[in-house]
Structure 1
Amino acid sequence: MTVPTREDADHIVISGMALEAPGGIDGPASYWSMLADAREVLGPLPRDRGWPIEEMLSLSRLDGWGGMRDVGGFLDGAAAFDPGFFGIGQREALATDPQQRVVLRVAWKALENTGTNPGAVEGEEAGCFVGTMPSEYGPRGAEVNEYSGHRVVGLGTMSAAGRVSHCLGLTGPSVTIDTSCTSALTALHLAAGAVRAGECDWALAGGATVMGSPLYFYEFAKHNALSADGHCRSYADDASGTLWGEGAGFVLVEKESRARRMGHRVYGRLLASAQNHNGKGRPILEPRVDAQERLVRKTIELAGIDPADVGMIEGHGTATRVGDPVELTALQNTYGVAGSAPLVGSVKSNVGHPQAAAGVLGLIKVLLAGRHGRIPPTLFSGNPTTRVDWDRSELRLATELRPWEPRGGVRCGAVSAFGASGANAHAIVAMPVDEEADNV
């Protein structure tokens, strides 16, 4: 292994985590149980959000539209919120996008996961970087109603990070990010850079998606890109389209020296992260092999590792006919040609596509896999897509729960995210074996 040791560099590390995911998953322990047990945690479309369910399920009758199923990955506790606990009035809470409410709750739990009292960090020079996307929650802003005046900071994409910083009293950089489905990994990249540059002592980084409207169901039905059978079959030959979901996750990033000094456990070292864009020349929704290749190569170079040491890749894996083969080809052209033989998978096969939260749920999956020394299976991966030539490299799909053997006392994993905006993000983390296996 060429991974620097603790004495060689003061790494950026991940020392806290929290998440909420479909199926009642409210933390790392239940998340890992779902992954290890290979469970699909989907459910019917929500009936308590005022969505036109009958119209949605009839979209295929319209000329040029694809159909959709009565299924998705929805948070059980999306509407649960104690405004008084976070110092928010009842009317303001109702006007506040549910994404902000979930972000506050999960950020609080991420601090508790480190052993930190969230009520005792006021005044600390700490940052908050949150990825979100528009959710179309609530009434139109350009009208007179009882929530007027509260919505200026209640919109999900405007002030999610500011909500957290204000609630906790953090005085470092506070940034809300929308790079589509790469938002959470972009947040991680920016947070790590801020800590590395001394802009803050530590930072919370993550993302959240709660669908205030069925906007993306309509958009992707028009593109005929929704799953035809109600499953998100990442990288499978019978994949027919993506399946929307929700989720939220946060990690705490800081320098390793601070983590050790504070007594925080180290889930993993962030060896490198990078982002880029597809550029012009093709439709903005169309992924690009060349752009993804450049990004992966750059991240490997920044990490300073032998790519053959990467044992697990948590891919984007949206189960679209175009996106999955492009992603797999880029991985073959980078990790594959370098002699790497990682197992590739995607948590979207379990929970659906959590959009802005996709990257952080994938990252936490890799960190937990490293800590437990096992790589979870990806559902529906027994029939891998025939749109790529699997004989070109040793990359394979993770079809069952497998041991993850370390190299030189370290397990290295990678995580990817690609956005409809043309943005791409990739990160490489290393999990030292001496940090593994306690309850999380």
Structure 2
Amino acid sequence: MNELDPIVISGFALEAPGNVTSASEFWTALRDRRDLMEPFPRDRGWGLELLDPVPVELDLERVPDAGGFLADATRFDPDFFGISVDEAAAMDPQHWAALRVAWQALENAGVDPGRLVGENVGCYIGISFTGHAPRSARIDRLVGYRAAGMALGGASGRISQCLGIVGPSLSIDTACVSSLNALQTAVGAVRSGECEWALAGAVCVMNSPMAYYSFSRLRALSEDGHCKSYSSEATGTVLGEAAGVLVVEHESRARQMGRRVYARILGIGSTHNGKSRLISAPSAQAQARLMRKTLQVAGVSADQVGLIEGHGTAKCADDRAELLALNEVYGLANGGRHRTAVGSVKSNIGHSQAAGGVMGMIKVLLCGVHGQIAPGLCTENPSYDIDWETTSLALAQGLESWPVCDDGMRYAAVSSFSVTGSNAHVLLGLPEQR
């Protein structure tokens, strides 16, 4: 984009599986190659019929008792946010997590969340339906609260209402691309002056095992409960939950306010695969086109990019298409002379669906803070889909130094694509942290 005053990320916060609720805890888990998968939650009233024995008549494959789950998914302090107990009880648990993390992202940026009333701040939250609806038909004391409590738009709207901010407030559902589309929308709004600055992110909390039914029927679940992104041993994905929110503003404003600049958003874009046999089928061609376009817009050459945080669901067709696109655009750009590390946070926390992209973004931000590339899990036997001997791409198998380029910047890319046929790609410039 070559802007004189680029849009930057000046704060962030997250909740991740494994009872991870801070950036330092998340970095430790990434650095130490921790697998944050755990058994299904037993405190949510889920029926666990999908676990052995699987009903034969449903044509489902076995579901491993494993996933990435938020420890605080069923806990919320409504008084803290000025919400009544009944109103909170009618809210989708995803709204709870989004509120908590948005508040923490502001604090991370040095903003007092209680002093924003009337400010022109935007709020853009990626979120998808995860099974909260069955309670909607009950006639009880919660009637009247469910309209806002169940709406996906309630995630962004509740944050704006509790903070008192008056900029645009949008919830965005493009499945697994939701968080990067939320960020793209926020960047456009800040750049155009529609809002002065913004919150952007996503949340995923599963309120039922619905997604497991779908992925089981599609034969898309991991057989052993491990998400082996880009591995020749991958057998499918593992579902997960997460929440992440970024603070987005012009760099001049961030500097003026004394905030830390974690990254410049140099280019961000999205496309759709278009006509295809299946809406869920990934397209290597569409992804490659978007990657090239985003590089061009960012004014960055492929051989400057030292880290690519990919989608990496560990589903064979998904990983194959993505690796072919990445190799075409980044891997073969300089004849394999420049090494570009590739990984996916899904190997640690599972596929957090709408929140997958923002969790990858936060992983990259933390790598920039520490000047190190965090390793992935299950990287010992890379996928056979590309020739790793002739490409500059390499799976990060251990913690390694991430050197800066000649201009003092580190460059990274983040990719997502979705079951609805959408693709998203982001180019970041991360200033050296002092």
CA distance in 2, matches of 1:64, 1:265: 52
For 2:309 and 2:52, locate their aligned partners in 1 and report how far apart those are by CA, in whole Å: 31
Structure 2: 5+ residue runs without aligned partners?
none
* TM-score of the two chains, using structure 2 as the length reference: 0.96
Shift of 1:63: 6.0
CA distance in 2, matches of 1:47, 1:99: 18
Aligned counterpart for 2:280 among listed residues 285, 288, 293? 285
The CA deviation at 1:392 is 4.3
Per mean C-alpha deviation after superposition, the further-off stretch among 47-56 and 199-208 is: 47-56
TM-score normalized by the length of structure 1? 0.95
* The one of 299, 303, 306 aligned to 1:308: 303
Q: Contact (CA 8 Å) 1:95, 1:138: kept in 2 or not?
A: no
CA distance in 2, matches of 1:303, 1:27: 30
Give the equivalent residue in structure 2 for 1:261.
256
Write out aligned runs for 1:23-422 (5 A). Answer: 23-59=18-54, 61-62=56-57, 64-137=59-132, 139-155=134-150, 157-339=152-334, 341-408=339-406, 409-422=408-421
Give, in whole Å, the separation in 2 of the partners of 1:128 and 1:398: 34
Q: Does the 8 Å contact 1:332/1:392 carry over to 2?
A: no
Give the Cα separation in 2 of the matches to 1:327 and 1:192: 25
Change (3 A) 1:288 1:60: farther
Contact 1:132 1:156 in 2 (8 A): no
The answer (yes or no) to whether the contact 1:138–1:212 under 8 Å persists in 2 is: no
Deviation at 1:158, TM superposition (A): 2.8
Q: Is the contact between residue 18 and residue 37 of structure 2 (CA under 8 Å) also seen in structure 1?
A: yes
Q: Is the contact made by 2:124 and 2:200 (CA closer than 8 Å) also made in structure 1? A: yes
Shift of 1:180: 0.2
2:423 paired with 1:424:
yes
- Cα–Cα, structure 1 residues 401 and 350, in superposed 2: closer, same or farther, change >3 Å? same
Moved more, 375-384 or 147-156: 147-156
Aligned residues: 430
- Output the CA distance in 1 between the equivalents of 2:135 and 2:362: 36
Taking the aligned partners of 1:270 and 1:76, their CA distance within structure 2 comes to 31
Amino acid at match of 2:302: P
Q: Is the 8 A contact 2:133 2:150 kept in 1?
A: no
Measured in 1, the distance between the counterparts of 2:90 and 2:390 equals 53
Q: Secondary structure at the match of 2:29?
A: helix
- Matched residues in 1 for 2:185 and 2:238: separation? 28
What is the Cα deviation at residue 64 of structure 1? 3.5
The alpha-carbon deviation at position 62 of structure 1 amounts to: 4.3
Among the aligned pairs, what percent are the same residue? Answer: 49
> Which AA in structure 2 matches 1:418?
F
Unmatched runs of 5 consecutive residues or more in structure 1: none
Which deviates more, 260-269 or 331-340? 331-340
| Cα distance in 1 between the residues matched to 2:13 and 2:60 | 38
Determine helix, strand or coil for the equivalent of 1:390. coil
2:18 aligned with 1:19, yes or no? no
3-state SS of 1:400 partner: coil
Q: Does structure 1 conserve the Cα–Cα contact (< 8 Å) formed by 2:177 and 2:354?
A: yes
How many Å apart are 1:27 and its aligned residue? Answer: 1.3
Given that 1:272 and 1:427 are in contact with CA atoms closer than 8 Å, whether structure 2 keeps it comes out as yes
Can you list the C-alpha shifts for 1:126-165, whole angstroms capped at 9, x where unaligned? 1000001101125342442332211100015232100101
Distance 1:321 1:79 in 2: 33
CA RMSD of aligned residues (A): 1.4
SS of 2:316 mapped into structure 1: coil
Counterpart Cα distance in 2 of 1:162 and 1:63 = 38
Counterparts of 2:275 and 2:137 in 1: how far apart (Å)?
34
d(CA) in 2 for partners of 1:368, 1:121: 27
Runs of 4+ in 1 over 4 A off after TM superposition: none
**CA-CA distance at 1:65 after TM superposition:** 2.1
Residues 180 and 420, structure 1, Cα contact 8 Å, conserved in 2? yes
CA deviations over 1:142-197 (Å, ceiling 9, x no partner): 44233221110001523210010111011111000000011111111110110000
